[in-house]
């Protein structure tokens, strides 16, 4: 049984993420959804418990997927959620993200990005307006360097096996010209071999603005999910630490799955 944790602060953004996850895993008998809330004061325990139970009943309508609730307190939300995910051996954490303004990014985005930094399990970051339809086209951003069969790739394969989408692998590099270098060809062939079950298609773009390139590609190919990981993304180490690289996450119209080693 795979455990998917959905943290809730009872904002519209977190409710949307919960509905997205419930629809994504609807009628999956191998999945347990856990609606997780972290409260700070004991006077909140009863009312937040009732909110969780109400949402669980709502999400259960027309679905056979098991949905549970957890309402816990502690000293720090991130630490508590991280520990809970470790104990449960979580398969995925699904969190919402609001990013229309800098103020929203500061208050709504901080915890989501902090969890995505943690090496716990894949974190699916759901834009505030995203509505689940299907996962038919997945984009994997790749640096095309040091391609190996790593835990990251195994995690990616598990997600791809869940949805069996068309797989698009994109490399953006200003050095691309008329043809690929031998190094790029070698790494492409390695990745194609490792993902052979999913028949990936490869794209190489000679552009200078990474997040703009990804957004253009996402629109052009009707991408439903973007997957990033440290071995697949040259900006990963900076991704959650600078405004420039956060831009790709905040501007994305589709969910972004962050995968760690």
Q: Return the ∠ at Cα 124 (arms to 122 and 125), rounded to 5°.
A: 135
Non-local CB neighbours of 69 within 8 Å, separated by 6+ positions: 34, 35, 36, 37, 49, 52, 53, 55, 56
Higher per-residue pLDDT: 51 or 236: 51
**Please, are residues 155 and 259 in contact by the beta-carbon 8 Å criterion?**
yes
Q: How far is it, in rounded angstroms, from Cα 161 to Cα 230?
A: 20
Residue 35 has pLDDT above 60, yes or no: yes
Class of residue 88 by CB neighbours under 10 A (exposed 0-12, middle 13-18, buried 19+): middle
Give how far the C-alpha of residue 24 lies from the chain's centroid of Cα atoms, to the nearest Å. 13
| pLDDT tens digits, 147-202 | 666 677 888 899 999 999 999 998 776 565 556 677 778 878 888 888 999 999 99
Q: Looking at residue 150, what is its pLDDT?
A: 67
pLDDT of residue 28: 95
- Comparing 141 with 79, which gets the higher pLDDT? 79
Length of the chain: 261
Q: Mean pLDDT, to the nearest integer, of 242-258?
A: 73
pTM of the model: 0.87
pLDDT value, residue 114: 84
Quick check: 90 and 4 in contact, CB under 8 A?
yes
Domains of the chain: 2-127 (3.40.50.620), 137-258 (3.40.50.620)
> Please, what is the Cα angle at 197 between 193 and 201, to 5 degrees?
70
DSSP state of 197: G
Percent of the chain as helix, strand, coil, to the nearest 5:
45, 20, 35
């Amino acid at each position: 049984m795979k455990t998917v944790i959905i943290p809730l602060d009872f904002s519209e953004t977190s409710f949307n993420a919960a509905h997205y996850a419930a629809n994504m895993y609807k009628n999956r008998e191998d999945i347990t959804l856990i609606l997780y809330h972290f409260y700070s004061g004991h006077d909140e325990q009863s009312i937040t418990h009732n909110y969780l139970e109400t949402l669980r009943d709502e999400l259960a309508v027309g679905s056979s997927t098991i949905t549970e609730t957890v309402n816990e307190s502690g000293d720090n939300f991130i630490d508590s959620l991280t520990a809970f995910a470790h104990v449960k051996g979580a398969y995925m954490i699904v969190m919402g993200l609001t990013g229309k303004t800098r103020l929203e990014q500061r208050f709504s985005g901080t915890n989501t990005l902090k969890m995505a930094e943690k090496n716990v399990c894949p974190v699916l970051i759901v834009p505030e307006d995203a509505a689940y339809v299907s996962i038919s086209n997945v984009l994997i951003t790749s640096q095309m360097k040091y391609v190996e069969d790593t835990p990251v790739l195994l995690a990616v394969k598990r997600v791809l096996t869940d949805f069996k989408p068309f797989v698009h692998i994109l490399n953006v590099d200003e050095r691309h010209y008329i043809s690929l270098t031998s190094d790029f060809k070698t790494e492409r062939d390695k990745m194609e071999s490792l993902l052979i079950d999913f028949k990936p298609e490869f794209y190489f773009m000679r552009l200078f603005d990474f997040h703009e390139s990804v957004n253009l590609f996402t629109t052009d190919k009707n991408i439903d999910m973007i997957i990033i990981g440290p071995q697949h993304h040259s900006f990963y180490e900076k991704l959650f630490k600078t405004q420039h690289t956060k831009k790709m996450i905040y501007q994305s119209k589709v969910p972004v799955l962050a995968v760690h080693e």
